[in-house]
Amino acid sequence: MENTVEINVNNGYEPQEITVPKDQVTKLVFNRANPSACLATVQSDELGFKQDLPLDQDVAVTINPKQVGEYDYSCGMGMFHGKVVVK
């Protein structure tokens, strides 16, 4: 079973915090509405992704977290942050 969460990227990430189940594939679908280059990349060392976000396009990042906890992701410069809570 697959879980999908849409995240709007404008002045930060909306919703800023999401909760996903452990041991399940979740698609994070980012859509960037803000032309600022600051938000053109989304990345997470903790979740293991780095993804360019073209303007006004749905871009999916797939995660499959194996441990409960709170995981941070951010824009390329680490100015804006979002959180993935794994339960």
Closest contact distance (angstroms) between CB of 2 and Cu ion is: 29
Query: Which positions from 30 through 49 interact with Cu ion, judged by CB under 5 A?
Result: 38
Q: And the tokens for 31? A: 């859509």
CA distance 13 to 32: 9
Q: According to the binding rule CB under 5 A, does residue 75 interact with Cu ion?
A: yes
d(CA 79, CA 20): 23
State the amino acid at position 54 in one-letter form: P
Pick the closest to residue 28 from 80, 66, 82 (CA basis).
Answer: 82
How near is the Cβ of 31 to Cu ion at its closest, in Å? 17
Binding-residue total with Cu ion (CB under 5 A): 4
CB of 25 to Cu ion, least distance (A): 27
**Please, which residue, 38 or 68, has the CB nearer to Cu ion?**
38
Report the interface residues with Cu ion, using CB under 5 A: 38, 75, 77, 79
